[in-house]
A and B are shown apart, each in its own frame.
Chain A
Amino acid sequence: GDSVTQMEGPVTLSEEAFLTINCTYTATGYPSLFWYVQYPGEGLQLLLKATKADDKGSNKGFEATYRKETTSFHLEKGSVQVSDSAVYFCALSYGQNFVFGPGTRLSVLP
């Protein structure tokens, strides 16, 4: 079945460091791909999305590119801030399936 794998956390970075959180997926067709962010005590918020191969989703300095050949959708940000500390979830949607990865906790230190 469809599945999403993310790099294990926690990821700890210093402010202004470069961020990569890896995400790979398995799907029977061509899914839509998403990154969500969850701040403490809150629900998930959609961060960015991509609906077809080579699409790049971007928002708030975060980017991810839909790579069909490597079935990946890695999240990147050039310079993280303390306020980016949260849990990040990669997800896919195909047909009526919506599958989340296990989440990666990011801690950014001042």
Chain B
Amino acid sequence: NAGVMQNPRHLVRRRGQEARLRCSPMKGHSHVYWYRQLPEEGLKFMVYLQKENIIDESGMPKERFSAEFPKEGPSILRIQQVVRGDSAAYFCASSRTGTAEPQHFGDGTRLSIL
């Protein structure tokens, strides 16, 4: 009974490169959420997606960041032209219905920008 799977666990990129973070939700879950966590800080909501739809992207920077959740395959958070300030832990969560249900989290991707 696999939980939320994120990969890679650790990702190192140089400034200007692209970062792709993947998230496979729990079986039967069609709602996916992405969060960013800086060291010693709380979670910052980025984006909420259902299959093939972005429901709420109010927490995601308008430039360089994009997210998708295709009909088949994992959800992808894409960061183009990364900068040092993008270094953080990125967590994905999923839920079954998206309403009043708990979210289940993956172990995160730690992104480091050199």
Contacts and interface: CB of A to CB of B under 8 A. Distances in A.
Interface of A: 31-32, 34, 36, 41-46, 49, 51, 89, 93-96, 98, 100-103
B101 A93 contact: yes
19 contacts: A32-B100, A32-B102, A34-B102, A42-B107, A43-B93, A43-B105, A43-B107, A43-B108, A44-B91, A45-B105, A46-B103, A49-B102, A89-B42, A96-B48, A96-B55, A96-B98, A98-B45, A100-B45, A103-B41
B107 A101 contact: no
A76 to B, nearest CB: 20
Contact of A102 (B4, B42, B55): B42
B106 to A, nearest CB: 5
Contacts of A100: 42-43, 45
Nearest to B106: A43
A37 to B, nearest CB: 11
Nearest to B104: A46
A25 to B, nearest CB: 14
Contacts of A36: 105
A9 B35 CA distance: 21
Contact of B42 (A41, A45, A46, A101): A101
A6 to B, nearest CB: 9
Contacts of A96: 48, 55-56, 98-99
Count chain B CB atoms within 10 A of each CB in A36, A43, A94, A100 and give the residue with the most. A43
A43 to B, nearest CB: 4
B33 interface: yes
Nearest to A30: B100
Contacts of B108: 42-43
A5 B40 CA distance: 17
Contacts of A89: 42-43
B1 to A, nearest CB: 15
Give 5 nearest A-B pairs by CB, closest first: A43-B105, A102-B42, A32-B100, A44-B105, A103-B42
